[in-house]
Structure 1
Amino acid sequence: MPHAVPPIHAVLFDFARTLFRLIDPVEMIRDIATEHGHPEIAADAEELARVLGDAHLHPEVVRLWELGDLSEAGHLAYRTGWIARVAKLGPILDPLAAAMANPARWPPYADTAEVLAGIAERGIPIAVVSNIGWDIRAAFARHGLDRHVDVWTLSYEVGAMKPSPAIFKHALRELGVAGRNALMVGDTPGADGGATAVGCRVLLLPGAEGVVSWLAPSEEVRGLGAVLHLLDAANRR
């Protein structure tokens, strides 16, 4: 006789590249350069975005990235240290670093709103569990999506980062749900997959093939509808 699948009483979501994405870096560089009176940078935006992507792999930038999600100051140091690796971006370093943490530069995927609303309609609470060094609540609020989130577990606020069990335990504690009754949804095996250590099931979305991980997959629809199917199957809806 088959064993019963534990019902899912809560869903935990990653933020970047799962529910929201950073806008195209070419567009962002071009916009910032134009706004600050640097047409020569705007003209080279495509090449500079490529060089910036390569710079993200520099060991010093990786070190800053690994530390950046534990404080707002650390995240700013990571962003500025990364951009500083590309000398031609020097004239717009500060506004570009600010833009990377600007909620207006982080649109949700086309299926984010529908899926968050669908989960809420099923009476299932939602937590956002993110390795992040700035307050992402405003990005949700811009699109009226903050009303669907019951718990915010942000690494720089709780002092723990995925894949540490501590950050998942914090979210589960706030939700009042056992790990076996929660689903973690993200895009990074090494980080989001850590939820299995506290008993959660994990749904991993595909990454952006062939590009460094700070870039988001370019498709408009992320495939989040699978979450609703998993909920209905587990809860026998």
Structure 2
Amino acid sequence: MQVNHFHDHYEIYYLLSGKRYYFIQDRSYFIQEGDLVFIDKNQLHKTRNVDEETHERILLSFDDRWIRSIGEDASTHLLVPFVQKQHVFSLSGTNRTLVENLLFQLLREQQQALGGWQLNSRALFTQLLIFCSRMTDRISTAQDHAPQSHNPKIFEIVAYINEHYRNRLTLASISETFYISPSYFCRSFKETTGFSFVEYLNNVRIREAQRLLRETKLKVIHIAEQSGFDSVAHFGRVFKQVTSQTPLECRKLMRLSQ
């Protein structure tokens, strides 16, 4: 997960073995084997190592077009886990067995590609989402912080960035506002979130720029300003770095997909 720290599709992450830290939006989670992670579209997220041990995971994603293809009221039932405040759920016993069976069946369908595999994959995935929606209120939650990385001040700064990204934010201004040394802040921010300060700020700003490109008819120069960039040239460079597209290319693709 080196790039694309947010995207316009939904994501399910299941950890088969090992341990990971998972930063989502403004919190860090410590996840272990048997944990399900639900990532809503356009949520900033990133995983990182706990130690040197290897890990195995299954990653599934889908978009709104797929949801709409199921039926008009599909989102009411299938997107429940993605709109909850808690992103991580720990599975055990029969719940874990059932979910893993569905996941492995999905993998086999993809690998074998027998007649009707796409239709069966669709049915299996729908069944998985329905089961996850039904169990959301019943299963226990995973730990909601990352041991050895939990730092309340860093999460306070993350919340501040999420709210004030339109303003001029620098390492010096953040350090002064929160009475924290620049070197300690950089180190702690990276350890807690997995992002560098600049990387996180740029992702927050580009996510807002994409929203404006999609939902408004504002010119690129005005979108750059409203997203917190000092110049349209800098905005264009960062946008291309984060999304691999220019702002105008992104707007065109968004309109074609609507």
* TMscore range, shorter length: under 0.3
TM-score normalised by structure 2 residue count: 0.26
Q: Which has the higher contact order (CA 8 A, sep 6+)?
A: 1
Larger Rg: 2
